[in-house]
C-alpha cells in the first residue's frame, strides 16, 4: 500500500469567502518532496501520455525527490511554458492523475491515492518564479528573421507565442480586450489564478521578446490579409470559444439573468467586486442560481457567493444541474471547494422558464425534475424531464453557465478559412493548419470548449508546424 | 488614444454634449458609417460603446452627452489627455446603397449618430430627408451639418423654442402620409425609436434603428447587450447595432437598459458628478 497522498493546505472556507485571494496554498518544499517520493517511478509511465503537452512527469518528480528543483523546473519548461498556471488550473484528475497507475481501474476520474502531480508542478513552477530561473532562447537562424502574428492572448495564443519566441521568431500577439490573458483573466477568478502569477508568466513571455498589443481585434481593426501585407509570415488563431450559449427558455433576457461570461468578466476583468472604486457594476442577488455543472459554473457560483458575503447578504447561491454530481464536468476540487464555501447543489433540475416582476427583474425559475436515462454520446447518462413534476425556485439573480460557441468575428470576414457546423475552425489535425495557407489555429476555436492545457497542447502542435512552415520560406 | 480636439456643442442646465476627436489611425482607416468603438476613460473605467461620427486621417470623432458617470468622466478630459483604451471599429456597418427616398430621424445626441449615415446615403444617390428633434433649442446639435447632408431638413423641439413645437414623430407621420419613402433610419432615445417604429408600421416602410444597449466587452463575448428581435435573442454588439425597428422587443430593451440605474446614481453621487 502506498502512503496516503499529501494534502495541500487551504485557506479555511469561512475566511476565503471574504475576498478573492487564493484558496489553495500549495506545497511547502517538504510536502512536495514527500508527495513526489510516493511516485512509483513506473517503467512505462502512463501519466506522460495523459498530459496533453507530454511533460516528462516521471523525471521532474524524481528530480523533486532529489531536491533538484531547478532541474525539475527545466524538465517541465521543455514542454510547458506556464507551469505556475497549469499547476493551478489543469484538470489533472481527468488527465495525468487519472492515467496514474495508482488510480483505480474504470474510475471516472483520478483516485485520491494517485500522485498529486499538479501540486508538485505548481511547487516547481513557483520555485522557478521565485528564483528567477530563465530558459535560454536558442535562435534558429533559418527562421528567426520571420515575424508571426498570434491572434488572441489566451492559453492557446500565449503557448504558441512562447514556443516560437524560444526559437528566436519575432511574435506579436493581438488581443481584443484591454488586458492580456484571455479566459485566464476574464474567466478564471483570482482565487484560483492569482493575478500576480498570471502577470509573472505573461511578463516572462514578454522577456522572450513577445510583443502583446491590446485593444486590437483582428477581423475589425485589421484583417488577415493586412497582417500578411505587414510582413507577418504566418498567423496562429487562438480565438477561444467566445460566445455564451443560453438555455433558449422564456424569460432569459430578464434583468439580472447573466451569462457566466458576462458575470465573470464584470467581476474578474473589470473588478466589479470593487465597485464603486472600479466603475463597472454588477448586481448581487439575495437568492442566486447558477445553471450548469462545469468549471465555469463553479467559478461563477463561488464569485457570486463571495459578493453576497462581501456585501453583508446572507450567502444563498445554488448550482442547479440537470444531471447528478457524478456527471458534472467540473474539476472535483472545484466542486469540493464550492461545497466547503457554502454553495448549495440542486441536482436533476431542468429549467423551463424565468418569471420576472413588473420592472423586468427575474424572480423565479420554473423547472421540472429530471431522472437519468440512457447514456448519450458523451457517455454520461442523459437527463430526462419528468412530466408533471413542475416546481419553482426563487431567484433574484441567475447565471447561465452552460457553455460557449465559436466567436465568428474573424471567420465571418475571412471566407478562406473553412469552418464546421459549429462554426469552429477546421484544421489539419496533424499540423493545425487551416484551409488558408500560413494560417494555423488551436484551442477552443478548433476543439470547442476544452481546458487550458488542451488548448496549449494544440498550440504546441501548431507551433511545431509553423516552424516547419517557416523552414520552407526564404530566410529573412 | 490622445484627445486631439474637444468642443462643447451644447450646454443646457449643466447637460453638455461634447465632440471629441481622438487619435486612432487604425480605427480611422477601417471605420464605416454605423460602426462604433468601445472605450475606457481610465484603468478603473467601464467599457462603453460610442458611435464613430466621422473619421479624419489619423483620428475618429465621437459625440456624447454627459448623461451617466462614464460620459461625465470623459467630458472632463481635455486636449492631450489620453484614454486608457479604445477598440474598434465594432459592429456591422450600415447598408449603404441607393434606396431612393430616405428619411433620417435623429433625437438628442442621436443626431450625431445619423449624421455619418445621412452623408453616406446622400453620396450613394439617395434623396435624404432629415428630421431632428431636441428637448430645447440649446440642445440641438449638428443642424448645419445635417442640413448639408439632406435635401430637406425639419426640426422639432419639445418646448417649441425652435422651429416646430412637438416631436419628430409628428413630422415623420405627416411626411409618410404625403409621400412614399423607401427607408426610415432612426437613432435617439429608446422611447423615440419605439414611437418611430409604431408610426412607420402603418406605412409598411423599412425602418432601421441603431440600438444603444449596455455592453461590456462589445465583441460578442458576454451577451450583456442581448435584445429580442423577431422573437430571437441577438447581441447588439456583433449582430447589430442596427435592427429592423418593428421586430424589436422595446419593453425588454427599456428594462434591460435600466438594470444598473441605482448603481449609476450611487457612483455619480459619490463622485459629486450630478
Q: Classify residue B62: in a domain, yes or no.
A: yes
Chain-centroid distance, C-alpha A50: 17
Chain-centroid distance, C-alpha A443: 10
Strands of the sheet containing B48-51, edge to edge, are B48-51, B36-40, B85-90
Average pLDDT, chain B: 94
Last residue of a domain, one of B66, B90, B114: B90
Residue B67 above 90 pLDDT? no
The answer to whether residues B9 and B111 belong to one domain is: no
Q: What is the pLDDT of residue A350?
A: 96
Cα A384 from Cα A372, distance rounded (Å): 6
Q: What is the pLDDT of residue B274?
A: 56
Mapping DSSP onto H, E and C, the string for B155-176 reads EEECCCCCCEECCHHHHHHHHH
Q: How far is B126 from chain A (nearest CA, A)?
A: 28
Put simply, whether B265 touches A (Cβ < 8 Å) is no
Cα R_g (chain A), whole angstroms: 23
- For range B79-84, the mean pLDDT: 95
Average pLDDT, chain A: 93
Is A395:A364 a contact under the CB 8 Å cutoff?
A: yes
The answer to whether residues B115 and B238 belong to one domain is: yes
Cα A178 from Cα B221, distance rounded (Å): 14
Q: How far is A52 from chain B (nearest CA, A)?
A: 26
Assign residue B44 the CATH number of its domain.
2.40.30.10
Assign residue B142 the CATH number of its domain.
3.40.50.80
Q: What is the pLDDT of residue A2?
A: 64
The answer to whether residues B145 and B251 belong to one domain is: yes
Q: What is the pLDDT of residue A1?
A: 57
Q: What is the pLDDT of residue A376?
A: 83
Q: Classify residue B261: in a domain, yes or no.
A: no
To the nearest 10 degrees (0 to 180), the angle between helices A69-79 and A57-65 is 170
Is A150:A157 a contact under the CB 8 Å cutoff?
A: yes
DSSP A172-236: EEE-SSSSSSTHHHHTS-TTTS-HHHHHHHHHHHHHTT-EEE-S--BTTTB-HHHHHHTTEEEEE
Domains of chain A from N-terminus onward: 13-130 (1.10.1060.10), 147-242+406-472 (3.50.50.60), 244-403 (3.50.50.60)
Domain that holds residue B188: 101-256
Q: Sort B230 into a burial class: Cβ within 10 Å, 0-12 / 13-18 / 19+.
A: exposed
The answer to whether residues B122 and B223 belong to one domain is: yes
The answer to whether residues B108 and B200 belong to one domain is: yes
Put simply, whether A214 touches B (Cβ < 8 Å) is yes
Do B223 and A281 count as a contact with CB atoms less than 8 A apart? no
Q: Which of residues 97-156 of B touch A (CB under 8 A)?
A: none
pLDDT tens-digit map of B205-218: 999 999 989 999 99
Is A323:A31 a contact under the CB 8 Å cutoff?
A: no
Q: Classify residue B186: in a domain, yes or no.
A: yes
Q: What is the pLDDT along chain A (476 residues), one digit of tens a residue?
A: 568 899 999 999 999 999 999 999 999 999 999 999 999 999 999 999 999 889 999 999 999 999 999 999 999 998 888 999 999 988 888 889 999 999 988 888 888 899 999 999 999 999 999 999 988 888 888 898 999 999 999 999 999 999 999 999 999 999 999 999 999 999 999 999 999 999 999 999 999 999 999 999 999 999 999 999 999 999 999 998 889 999 999 999 999 999 999 999 999 999 999 999 999 999 999 999 999 999 999 999 999 999 999 999 999 999 999 999 999 989 888 999 999 999 999 999 999 999 999 999 999 999 999 999 988 887 888 999 999 999 999 999 999 999 998 888 999 999 999 999 888 999 999 999 999 999 999 999 997 777 888 888 899 999 999 999 999 988 87
Number of domains in chain B: 2
Q: Classify residue B140: in a domain, yes or no.
A: yes
The answer to whether residues B236 and B211 belong to one domain is: yes
The answer to whether residues B69 and B9 belong to one domain is: yes
Put simply, whether A372 touches B (Cβ < 8 Å) is no
Q: Classify residue B264: in a domain, yes or no.
A: no
Last residue of a domain, one of B38, B55, B90: B90
β partners of residue A104: none
The four Cα atoms A188, A190, A193, A194 give a dihedral, to 10 degrees, of 160
Q: What is the pLDDT of residue A437?
A: 94
Q: Classify residue B150: in a domain, yes or no.
A: yes
Which residues from A are below 8 Å from B223, CB to CB? Answer: 243-244, 246, 259, 261-262
Q: Classify residue B273: in a domain, yes or no.
A: no
Residue of A213, A219, A227, A280 for testing the chain B interface, max B β-carbons within 10 Å: A280
Is B256:A294 a contact under the CB 8 Å cutoff?
A: no
Last residue of a domain, one of B90, B117, B139: B90
Is A208:A159 a contact under the CB 8 Å cutoff?
A: no
Is A341:A17 a contact under the CB 8 Å cutoff?
A: yes
- For range B175-181, the mean pLDDT: 95
The answer to whether residues B52 and B150 belong to one domain is: no
Which residues from B are below 8 Å from A271, CB to CB? Answer: 44
Residue of A nearest to B235 (CA): A243
Which residues from B are below 8 Å from A215, CB to CB? Answer: 85-87
The answer to whether residues B138 and B221 belong to one domain is: yes
Which residues from B are below 8 Å from A181, CB to CB? Answer: none
The answer to whether residues B115 and B242 belong to one domain is: yes
Q: Classify residue B45: in a domain, yes or no.
A: yes
Q: Largest alpha-carbon pair distance within chain B?
A: 53
Residue B273 above 80 pLDDT? no
Which residues from A are below 8 Å from B227, CB to CB? Answer: 253
The answer to whether residues B107 and B222 belong to one domain is: yes
Q: Any alpha helices (H) in A287-428, and if so which ranges?
A: 295-310, 332-341
The answer to whether residues B192 and B66 belong to one domain is: no
Do A278 and B44 count as a contact with CB atoms less than 8 A apart? yes
Cα B221 from Cα A410, distance rounded (Å): 13
Q: What is the pLDDT of residue A107?
A: 83
Instruction: Report the residue from B90, B216, B258 with minimal CB separation from A220.
Output: B90
Amino acid at each position: 500500500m502506498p502512503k496516503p497522498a499529501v494534502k495541500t493546505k487551504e485557506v479555511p472556507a469561512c475566511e476565503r469567502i471574504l475576498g478573492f485571494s487564493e484558496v489553495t496554498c500549495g506545497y511547502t518544499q517538504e510536502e512536495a518532496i514527500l508527495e513526489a517520493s510516493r511516485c512509483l517511478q513506473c517503467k512505462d509511465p502512463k501519466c506522460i501520455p495523459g498530459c496533453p503537452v507530454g511533460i516528462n512527469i516521471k523525471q521532474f518528480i524524481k528530480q523533486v525527490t532529489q531536491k533538484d528543483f531547478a532541474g525539475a523546473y527545466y524538465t517541465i519548461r521543455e514542454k510547458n511554458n506556464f507551469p505556475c498556471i497549469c499547476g493551478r488550473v489543469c484538470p489533472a484528475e481527468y488527465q495525468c492523475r487519472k492515467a496514474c497507475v495508482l488510480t483505480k481501474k474504470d474510475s471516472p476520474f483520478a483516485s485520491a491515492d494517485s500522485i498529486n502531480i499538479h501540486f508538485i508542478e505548481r511547487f516547481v513552477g513557483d520555485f522557478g518564479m521565485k528564483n528567477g530561473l530563465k530558459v535560454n532562447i536558442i535562435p534558429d537562424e533559418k527562421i528567426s528573421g520571420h515575424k508571426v502574428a498570434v491572434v488572441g492572448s489566451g492559453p492557446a495564443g500565449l503557448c504558441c507565442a512562447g514556443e516560437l519566441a524560444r526559437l528566436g521568431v519575432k511574435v506579436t500577439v493581438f488581443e481584443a480586450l484591454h488586458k492580456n490573458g484571455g479566459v485566464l483573466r476574464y474567466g478564471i477568478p483570482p482565487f484560483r489564478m492569482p493575478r500576480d502569477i498570471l502577470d509573472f508568466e505573461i511578463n516572462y513571455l514578454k522577456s522572450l521578446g513577445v510583443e502583446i498589443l491590446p485593444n486590437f481585434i483582428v477581423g475589425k481593426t485589421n484583417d488577415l490579409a493586412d497582417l500578411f501585407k505587414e510582413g507577418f509570415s504566418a498567423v496562429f488563431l487562438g480565438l477561444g470559444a467566445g460566445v455564451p450559449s443560453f438555455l433558449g427558455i422564456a424569460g432569459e433576457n430578464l434583468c439580472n439573468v447573466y451569462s457566466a461570461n458576462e458575470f465573470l468578466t464584470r467581476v474578474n476583468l473589470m473588478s466589479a467586486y470593487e465597485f464603486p472604486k472600479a466603475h463597472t457594476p454588477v448586481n448581487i442577488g439575495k437568492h442566486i442560481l447558477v445553471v450548469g455543472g462545469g468549471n465555469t459554473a463553479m467559478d461563477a457560483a463561488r464569485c457570486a457567493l463571495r459578493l453576497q458575503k462581501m456585501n453583508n447578504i446572507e450567502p444563498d447561491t445554488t448550482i442547479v444541474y440537470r444531471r447528478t454530481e457524478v456527471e458534472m464536468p467540473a474539476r472535483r476540487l472545484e466542486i469540493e471547494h464550492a461545497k466547503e464555501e457554502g454553495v448549495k447543489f440542486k441536482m436533476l433540475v431542468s429549467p423551463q422558464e424565468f418569471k420576472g416582476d413588473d420592472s423586468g427583474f427575474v424572480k423565479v425559475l420554473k423547472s421540472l425534475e429530471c431522472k437519468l436515462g440512457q447514456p448519450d454520446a458523451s457517455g454520461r447518462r442523459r437527463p430526462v424531464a419528468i412530466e408533471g413534476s413542475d416546481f419553482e425556485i426563487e431567484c433574484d439573480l441567475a447565471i447561465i453557465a452552460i457553455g460557449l460557441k465559436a466567436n465568428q468575428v474573424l471567420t465571418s470576414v475571412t471566407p478562406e478559412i473553412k469552418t464546421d457546423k459549429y462554426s469552429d475552425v477546421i484544421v489539419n489535425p496533424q499540423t493545425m493548419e487551416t484551409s488558408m495557407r500560413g494560417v494555423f489555429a488551436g484551442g477552443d476555436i478548433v476543439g470547442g470548449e476544452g481546458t487550458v492545457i488542451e488548448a496549449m497542447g494544440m498550440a504546441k502542435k501548431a507551433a511545431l508546424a509553423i516552424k516547419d512552415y517557416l523552414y520552407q520560406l526564404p530566410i529573412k | 488614444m490622445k484627445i486631439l480636439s474637444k468642443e462643447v456643442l451644447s450646454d443646457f442646465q449643466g447637460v453638455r454634449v461634447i465632440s471629441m476627436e481622438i487619435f486612432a489611425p487604425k480605427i480611422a482607416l477601417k471605420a464605416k458609417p454605423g460602426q462604433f468603438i468601445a472605450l475606457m476613460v481610465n484603468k478603473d473605467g467601464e467599457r462603453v460603446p460610442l458611435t464613430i461620427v466621422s473619421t479624419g486621417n489619423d483620428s475618429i470623432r465621437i459625440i456624447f452627452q454627459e448623461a451617466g458617470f462614464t460620459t461625465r468622466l470623459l467630458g472632463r478630459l481635455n486636449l492631450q489627455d489620453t484614454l486608457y483604451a479604445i477598440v474598434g471599429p465594432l459592429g456591422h456597418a450600415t447598408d449603404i446603397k441607393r434606396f431612393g427616398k430616405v428619411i433620417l430621424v435623429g433625437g438628442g445626441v442621436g443626431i450625431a449618430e445619423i449624421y455619418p449615415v445621412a452623408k453616406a446615403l446622400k453620396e450613394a444617390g439617395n434623396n435624404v430627408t432629415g428630421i431632428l428633434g431636441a428637448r430645447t433649442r440649446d440642445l440641438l446639435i449638428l443642424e448645419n451639418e445635417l442640413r448639408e447632408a439632406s435635401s430637406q431638413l425639419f426640426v422639432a423641439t419639445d418646448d417649441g423654442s425652435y422651429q416646430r413645437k412637438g416631436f419628430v414623430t409628428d413630422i415623420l407621420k405627416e411626411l409618410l402620409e404625403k409621400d412614399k419613402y423607401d427607408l426610415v433610419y432612426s437613432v435617439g432615445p429608446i422611447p423615440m425609436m419605439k414611437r418611430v417604429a409604431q408610426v412607420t408600421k402603418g406605412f409598411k416602410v423599412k425602418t432601421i434603428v441603431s440600438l444603444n444597449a449596455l455592453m461590456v466587452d462589445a465583441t460578442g463575448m458576454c451577451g450583456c447587450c442581448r435584445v429580442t428581435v423577431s422573437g430571437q435573442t441577438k447581441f447588439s454588439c456583433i449582430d447589430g447595432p442596427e435592427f429592423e425597428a418593428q421586430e424589436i422587443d422595446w419593453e425588454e430593451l427599456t428594462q434591460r437598459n435600466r438594470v444598473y440605474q441605482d448603481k449609476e446614481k450611487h457612483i455619480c453621487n459619490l463622485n459629486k458628478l450630478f
